Amino acid sequence: MDKQIAAVILGAGKGTRMKSDLPKVMMPVCGKPMISHILETLKTIHAGPIVTVISKDGDLVKNEVAPFPTCVQEQQLGTGHAVLQAKEVLKNFEGPVLVIFGDTPLITAETFLNLSQKIDEGFAIAVLGFTPPDPARYGRLYMKDGELVKIIEYKDATDEERQITFCNSGCMAFSGKHMFEILEKIGNQNAAGEYYLTDAIEIARNSGLKCTAVCGNFKEVASANTREELALLETYLNERNNA
């Protein structure tokens, strides 16, 4: 590979809804913590630097990802704020930077490369989208002429926008050159008072930068917030391994 790809893994979530004391990304899928599956995939594309954002009591995650570095999100102020914590590690990196949620362990190397390729083509942000069997309450990706115009949260979508079936997985790639400049402009004027990563699209476009999205398989972007969803990830991974 002629260009390095960096990655930020968001690993500060708690396992509360899993009814577990383990950090969420440490919950096992087929015998291995979710975050370990992600690291293994990143190693196959020789990604680096790889930095994991952990909570202040995230020693289990820190030990699991070693020798890769970690940075601490002292307060849970949203996804945009979480990625900003990686600035010190990545401040001089200008290539593609993958932002991966630690509870989505099945995204393939090919998909990570597809996202990175869009950054190499001149896009500031590339979002990983998917078309689920039931779009339900996922955020929608509004595309026009190959560009991503905006991410519309389900609760804010009009009836017409809810007809869009191309949905947001959460995972995205940034151009390292523009990433922190964009993230630092994200505000928290919303009901939760949090800094949302999805706001990066609007900020990038308002700065004259281009955004796009690539389509992944709905099974590879599956995430786990509950024990049932964790079991489903095992099913999907077993299907893939037996294919």
In angstroms, the CA 189 to CA 29 distance is 36
Count of residues making up the chain: 243
CA geometry: angle at 240 spanning 237 and 242, to 5°? Answer: 110
In angstroms, the CA 33 to CA 25 distance is 6
Closest CA to 115 of 171, 41, 51: 171
Closest CA to 31 of 239, 242, 243, 230: 230
C-alpha 27, offset from chain centre: 18
- Indicate if 17 belongs to the active site: yes
Sign of the C-alpha dihedral computed for residues 80, 85, 88 and 90 taken in this order: negative
Region for residue 50 given its phi and psi (left: phi exceeds 0; alpha: psi -120 to 50; beta: otherwise): beta
Angle, in degrees to the nearest 10, between helices 109-120 and 34-44? 60
- Joined tokens for residue 208: 């004259």
Closest CA to 75 of 100, 57, 92: 57
Q: Which amino acid is at 52?
A: T
Give the side-chain half-sphere CA count within 13 A for 60: 16
Active-site hit among 17, 162, 227, 240: 17
Give me the active site residues, please.
Answer: 17
